[in-house]
Amino acid sequence: MTTLVRRSVTLVSLVGRLNPAALDGLIPHTFAVGAVAGTAPLAVRAFASDDDGDAAGLNPQPLPPVAAALRLAVARTVHAVANAAITARVSGGDAQRILTEAGGDWCGTPSGRIPWPRHWPLPWPPDGPAPIDPGYATPAVQAQAALAFQGYANGVEDEQLKIYFTELAEKLADSALRTVD
């Protein structure tokens, strides 16, 4: 599956050459490069600046508001999980444990819920039902997270982190594909 995920990231990156908005929330390096250069789509620049405003409202794509908000919540959570793992690795902590736990949570199948890493806030009120059908959203969330984590794997020089990110990307991609098969 490694080759499939890597090739998928490459293909999505190529699509981004024609339509940079296609990369919103998918490939982590666009947050850093595009935000610094000021060339990233508006929603990405808002996210990269850690603005607590409604970044989903800034996205010009004609997505339903719930789907757009969920897509941005996935991007923010992937970014936070990846940064936690990087920080753990640099400080001598257990980056693999962080990524394994998040992957286990994201690949789980809680009844009536979209799987979500338990150490990060849910993108909807915790006491109510998910605002979007979990059967519809779960594989999309897993696929987006898989592409983003593979983007991190492709972007880090630390070989051990590269392995950890790739393992998580593969697990998420397998889970997403299993859900739709």
Alpha-carbon torsion, ordered 82, 60, 33, 28, to 10 deg? 20
Specify burial of residue 80 (Cβ count, 10 A radius: 0-12, 13-18, 19+): middle
Is 120 in contact with 81 (CB distance < 8 Å)? yes
Q: For the chain, which residues make up each domain, given as ranges?
A: 2-180
d(CA 24, CA 56): 10
Walk along the chain (181 residues) and give the pLDDT tens digit of each residue: 556 766 676 656 655 665 567 677 666 554 443 333 333 333 333 333 334 444 444 444 444 567 778 888 999 999 999 999 999 999 999 999 999 999 999 998 666 788 899 899 888 887 777 778 888 888 888 888 988 999 999 999 999 999 999 999 999 988 888 876 6
Q: State CA 63 to chain mean position distance.
A: 17
Q: What is the DSSP letter of 102?
A: H
* pTM of this structure: 0.71
